[in-house]
Structure 1
């Protein structure tokens, strides 16, 4: 086993000559960045602002159901690209997971514990890391720093700020008839019908939880295409050289290239998975060279295929879903959810346009679960701080409305087209510029690339005199 203690062991140096770095968001993106900054510079000071969950949990890793598995193998989930076995070594050091290997899939809650554990030594051993258990409502860039306004009215200054707010959840149903995918569902009659809107990874998690709870009633999952994410299987990613990638080609040409690669992988005794995993290495570069109209065409015609084949289901989860379908307990339908009402006797009714019927139907349900996934439009489904940045003109939405507009160094682009010198955005909120930037293997590379620039700029700045109450609970 590699000795990797230096990756997470605090190095305590003199107080920073420059200013502190504010990281807005304590999910995977925020934690990966905070650890990288603290590890790379023994003088760096980081303030992690996260009011919803303990650091490391976020949306993806806050679940407590052990059946909710990572959809990426252990060997690809290290926090450090230069130490690919770091997560595996961490698992093997714990009695309950010491038998895991690199090809296994572990619970998402376990990964949340790993991320939290990465930060804990820094918090205990030095004053260089602070967790503010608050929500950030606004950021204001100033000539010599940036100031964050918190939900308790406090303000704190920094030399740099990084938006790491992650995915945005759908807002609560004002009528209380539809439950979000990340909200625990209780009180469902075991024999009652459950309608699930969406048939992707979130649906898989909800079905697994329902089945484990003893639910015996029918489960209907409805989505536009009625497609399930594909199953994981052993892969040998194709080795695709950069010069072999048709950068800037029309989507139709790229699609034929993908099909040829899939055929090549199968001819070599593999599967289409080898082609998709080989392409993924170049996904950000391909996206960067696509003109806006080609990006829009991809989102209209090809994104579903890519998502279904790129984000796959662990074999154990896929087996249980297949069993539920074979037993008639889970039915996947093509259709469109039109809304929900409450009947005369208080029952919930789902209005669905089913493709096979060709007309809307109304179904009584014990519960309706919204599993349509993450919301991407950063203006319609914005966190308070992002909403304020857009309103103030310090940030803007990209033309396709799938993320904030950022440059190649993740610097936030203002309404007038000028990149910020002090505010950056990483992870899912930077999706418009990088596309494949929602999973840990991609985010860890992103933060490793931009950390030197953040540290250099922070060293030249200052914090301003603005401060806030500090919450050091962990």
Structure 2
């Protein structure tokens, strides 16, 4: 399912409060759905998204059906008060659901479905407001443009788009998602989100990084019957652990060591894992029990301990927290057992193109030894970029330059308050500018998974509604409007989330 964006005529000003969401990926769509679905809500919402699709973002724009969610169906509903919403959607979209629906048409709550399928589900959330009919149809607009800056003050903000238009808004939500590295200008490194294209089926492939993006790449290679060696490189050689049945260990709020040193937290977590094992469970029970307390833990840590956690403990936490679906884990285990996939500890030190056109990677190994490895493809799976100072979009760069926002002291995102308000250069939280999802990573750390984002957007929807009383609208000129494009639903036969 695709939600295709296309322009429509200008609309007159509306007396309803106006919320502009910058970004139409998972975070933006969840934010819009929660704002629009609140009982009695009169808010109007405009989604600004540069791509010709809604709901997909980076994670759900893949078209490989073997790229699976790493969270079960039962935990992927968009609505915290309706945990079966996604499962019911699967049952009504059996072609998209695949193996998640049995022969009787019932969806399996414990299954792991493909990410393209979930992208289609996210896009469908806005269908009640995209149909062009009904009482709610006029409350949602979508604009296929890029936001360059946010100006204004007092009662309204002004959203400046790259086509020269401006939107007036009572509230603005930054849902800009993850930032990927720019394509390698020399063409030596391939991006993890680029198609594999033509590839020698017997050639060696080097993958930089051993996280879930590496898993996706290995599965894609195996799906096309790649026979060559696959080398996966990271400093520690750690890969995500396997999902299995788990019962979250009950952890009382008063037993959580808030503000402790990172080393103390590490020992605490290991102690919980041993406790779970003594009780007949395992480390997964402990990790899943800790998860509801992660935000409080992160917020309680001094900056020095946050930095220490990121350097030393985060890689270990990530491989236990962000696990592989069993189907994916089985195939990775088979590839390791056969020797086709090998894990290498070391640091990627660069690569060049050889005289014959092949690639040569330089690997710095533990102990200082260096080696060169030839390959037909080098795929960069080191993940997303975090420091806005190194990859700021025009919007984020302008927010920082204007003083409307600042970088958090850790350099991993914008500085955001616990209730998602963007903090300005003077340290004052905004009452009109908010950040959610990965854009709010610095304040919450664990804010990339759907269960976390749905809780965050639900709470922010309540807050925005409380902050935004209905007020008379000022006049506006030909270049300023409350919304100047609408989003129409285009539903092809398959579940792919594409333009």
Normalising TM by the smaller chain, what interval?
over 0.9
Residue 42 of structure 1: CA displacement? 3.5
Residue 16 of structure 1: CA displacement? 6.0
Residue 340 of structure 1: CA displacement? 1.6
**1:270 maps onto 2:275 in alignment:** no
**What is the 5 A alignment of 1:400-411?**
400-411=410-421
**1:205 maps onto 2:216 in alignment:** yes
**What is the 5 A alignment of 1:430-449?**
430-449=440-459
2 CA distance for matches of 1:416 and 1:343? 52
How many residues are paired up?
459
**1:108 maps onto 2:145 in alignment:** no
Partner of 2:437: 427
**What is the 5 A alignment of 1:226-305?**
226-305=237-316
- TM-score of the two chains, using structure 2 as the length reference: 0.89
Residue 346 of structure 1: CA displacement? 2.0
Which of 382, 386, 397 aligns to 1:376? It is: 386
Residue 37 of structure 1: CA displacement? 0.2
Partner of 1:215: 226
Which of 155, 166, 178 aligns to 1:155? It is: 166
Flag structure 2 segments of 5+ consecutive residues without an equivalent: 1-12, 490-499
Higher relative contact order (CA 8 A, sep 6+): 2
Which of 21, 26, 41 aligns to 2:19? It is: 21
Residue 461 of structure 1: CA displacement? 5.7
- TM-score of the two chains, using structure 1 as the length reference: 0.94
* 3-state SS in 2 of match to 1:67: coil
| Alpha carbons 1:17, 1:459 under 8 Å: kept | no
Which runs of 4 or more aligned residues in structure 1 lie more than 4 Å from their structure 2 counterparts after TM superposition?
460-464
Deviation by residue 1:183-222 (Cα, 9 ceiling, x = unmatched):
1110111111111100000000001001111111111110
2 CA distance for matches of 1:123 and 1:379? 37
2 CA distance for matches of 1:471 and 1:340? 46
* 3-state SS in 2 of match to 1:282: helix
**What is the 5 A alignment of 1:11-90?**
17-40=15-38, 41-90=40-89
Partner of 1:7: none
| Alpha carbons 1:146, 1:463 under 8 Å: kept | no
Flag structure 1 segments of 5+ consecutive residues without an equivalent: 1-14
| Alpha carbons 1:18, 1:159 under 8 Å: kept | no
1 CA distance for matches of 2:163 and 2:359? 38
2 CA distance for matches of 1:136 and 1:349? 40
**What is the 5 A alignment of 1:441-460?**
441-460=451-470
Partner of 2:495: none
| Alpha carbons 2:206, 2:231 under 8 Å: kept | yes
Aligned-pair Cα RMSD in Å: 1.6
| Alpha carbons 1:181, 1:371 under 8 Å: kept | yes
Per mean C-alpha deviation after superposition, the further-off stretch among 417-426 and 306-315 is 417-426
Partner of 1:123: 130
| Alpha carbons 2:15, 2:473 under 8 Å: kept | no
